[in-house]
Amino acid sequence: MTDPHPPYLSPGYKSTVLRAPAQPLVMPKLGPDAIELSGPVFGEHELGLLDHDLTKQHAGDPIGERIIVTGRVTDPDGRPIPNTLVEVWQANAAGRYIHLNEQHDAPLDPNFTGAGRCLTDAEGRYKFITIRPGAYPWGNHHNAWRPAHIHFSVFGRAFTQRLVTQMYFPNDPLFPFDPIFNSIPDEKARERLICRFDMDTTVPEWALAYQWDIVLGRVPMENEG
């Protein structure tokens, strides 16, 4: 199977030029150790009751289009990965992050932080309630805009199985112009980061829904020799 991931060096995304490792990666001859084949196990008691609902973290309702985002976390064989921590963060409906270094001239929303956490259930399912994020400009090149996206961090079973990525929305006109999205060489792999509209999960009079499954890489085989 070809490597689905982008290379470290992708010059169209300028920040990679001085940050991409230049030396080849080293594969341990004996394979990964027990610590690299395992990972932290998080507990429900460590999360807040509203951590998964980004629309309920303040006194009022955030501005924007309320959406439900659901999906499953599985391994490449389709087996669910239960009880794994999924973390999300995103811009608000106007395309503004609450982050201190964010300079985009768009309004903050006092009722929206844009960060959430949940654990997958026994079938590997996750669910967030949030606001559809806006596109935003960035300084990579003249008139550069990021397609709307939600950042995801997923732990999986092993420290080395970790995935940090971004979920995009269908039919975004900014796709052809985004060097981060296009850093993934394979078109089919890029498309796997685009969620689908999910009529079945919409709630009448309340929210639209999107569905996006996450497939983690295989846990490397433990050395048996």
Partner 1 sequence: MISPSQTVGPFFGYALPYGDGPYITPEWRPDAIMLRGSVLDGAGQPLPDALVEVWQPDGGGAVQQRRGGALRRAAAPFSGFGRCPTDKAGGYFFSLVKPGPLNDDSAPYISMMVLARGLLKPVFTRVYFPGEPRNATDPLLAQIDPARRDTLIAEPDGDERTYRFDVRLQGDGETVFLAF
Catalytic positions, please?
97, 136, 146, 149, 151
Work out how close the CB of 98 gets to partner 1 at its nearest, in angstroms, rounded to a whole number. 5
Task: Give per-residue burial for 73-95: e unless 16+ CB within 10 Å, then b.
Answer: bbbeeeebbebbbbebbbbbbbb
Closest to 163 in 3D by CA, of 91, 98, 95, 71: 71
* Identified binder of partner 1 from the candidate list 67, 148, 193, 195, rule CB under 8 A: 193
Nearer to partner 1, 68 or 194 (CB): 194
Separation between Cα atoms, residue 187 and residue 190, nearest integer Å: 5
* Identified binder of partner 1 from the candidate list 59, 101, 187, 200, rule CB under 8 A: 101
Q: Which stretch binds partner 1 (CB under 8 A): 60-68, 125-133, 185-193, 201-209?
A: 185-193
* Identified binder of partner 1 from the candidate list 62, 64, 95, 114, rule CB under 8 A: 114
Q: Which stretch binds partner 1 (CB under 8 A): 62-70, 121-129, 162-170, 197-205?
A: 162-170
Strands 125-131 and 136-138: unpaired
Distance of CA 206 to the CA centre of its chain: 24
Site for partner 1 in 125-144 (CB under 8 A): none
Number of residues this chain uses to bind partner 1 (CB under 8 A) = 77
Told to check if 121 binds partner 1 by CB under 8 A, we report no
Told to check if 215 binds partner 1 by CB under 8 A, we report yes
Separation between Cα atoms, residue 90 and residue 93, nearest integer Å: 9
Told to check if 49 binds partner 1 by CB under 8 A, we report no
* Identified binder of partner 1 from the candidate list 69, 86, 118, 214, rule CB under 8 A: 214
Contacts of residue 93, defined as CB under 8 A and 6 or more positions apart, other chains included, come to 62, 63, 64, 65, 109, 112, 131, 132, 133, 134
Told to check if 87 binds partner 1 by CB under 8 A, we report yes
Nearer to partner 1, 27 or 199 (CB): 27
Site for partner 1 in 17-46 (CB under 8 A): 17-23, 25-36, 38-43, 45-46
Work out how close the CB of 87 gets to partner 1 at its nearest, in angstroms, rounded to a whole number. 6
Helix (H, G, I), strand (E, B) or coil at 175: helix
Helix (H, G, I), strand (E, B) or coil at 177: helix
Nearer to partner 1, 64 or 114 (CB): 114
Separation between Cα atoms, residue 154 and residue 124, nearest integer Å: 11
